Homo-oligomer: A and B are copies of this chain.
Amino acid sequence: MKSPLITLTTDFGESDPFVGIMKGVIAGIAPGVPLVDITHAIPPGDIQRGAIVLWQSVPYFPPGTVFLAVVDPGVGTERKGIILHVRGQIFVGPNNGLFSYLLAEGESVRAWELVNTSLGDLPPSATFHGRDVFAPSAAYAALGVKSTEFGPEHPHLVRLPLPSLEITSPQELRGEILTTDQFGNLLTSLGRFIPTKDGQLQLSPWLEQRLPMVKFSPDKARVLLPNGQSLPFVNTFAHILPGECAALVGSTGLIEIVANRQSAAKILGLERGMAVSVTRH
Interface residues of A (CB under 8 A from B): 2, 5, 7, 9, 12-21, 23-25, 27-28, 31-32, 34-41, 44-45, 53, 56-57, 60-62, 65, 73-77, 125-128, 131-132, 181-183, 235-239, 248-251, 256, 260-261
Q: How far is the CA of A65 from the CA of B26 in the complex (A)?
A: 13
Q: Contact between B16 and A27 (Cβ–Cβ < 8 Å)?
A: no
Residue from A24, A73, A131, A260 with most neighbouring chain B CB atoms (10 Å):
A24
Other A-B contacts than A15-B181, A27-B34, 12 sampled, CB-CB below 8 A, are A7-B20, A9-B20, A13-B182, A14-B40, A15-B41, A16-B53, A16-B182, A27-B36, A27-B65, A44-B261, A73-B260, A131-B251
Residues in B neighbouring A61, C-beta threshold 8 A: 24, 27-28
**Distance from A125 Cβ to chain B, minimum over Cβ atoms (Å):** 4
Dominant secondary structure at the A interface: loop
A256 to B53, CA, bound (A): 30
Q: Assuming the A-B contacts A236-B77, A251-B128, are A14 and B34 also in contact, with contact meaning beta carbons closer than 8 angstroms in the complex?
A: no
| Pairwise interchain contact A127-B248, C-beta atoms closer than 8 A | yes
Q: Which of A7, A27, A32, A256 has the most CB of B within 10 A?
A: A27
A41: which B residues are within 8 A, CB to CB? 14-15
Interface pairs A-B: 10 shortest CB-CB: A76-B236, A128-B251, A20-B38, A15-B41, A24-B61, A13-B182, A24-B60, A28-B62, A125-B251, A17-B57
Say yes or no: A31 contacts B2, CB within 8 Å.
Answer: yes
Query: B residues within 8 A CB of A182?
Result: 12-13, 15-16, 44
In the complex, what's the smallest C-beta–C-beta distance from A57 to chain B, in angstroms?
4
Contact across chains for A65 and B251 when beta carbons are under 8 A apart: no
How far does the alpha carbon of A35 sit from the alpha carbon of B25 in the complex, in Å? 14
Q: List 18 A-B contacts (CB under 8 A).
A: A2-B31, A5-B27, A7-B20, A12-B182, A14-B14, A16-B39, A16-B181, A21-B56, A27-B62, A60-B131, A73-B238, A74-B238, A75-B237, A76-B237, A126-B235, A126-B236, A127-B250, A132-B251
The minimal Cβ–Cβ distance linking A234 to chain B, given in whole angstroms, is 9
Asked whether B251 lies within 8 Å of A60 as measured between CB atoms, the reply is no
Q: Select the residue from A35, A60, A75, A132 with max chain B CB neighbours within 10 A.
A: A60
Q: Which residues of chain B come closer than 8 Å to A21, judged between CB atoms? A: 38, 56-57, 60
Contact between A17 and B39 (Cβ–Cβ < 8 Å)? yes
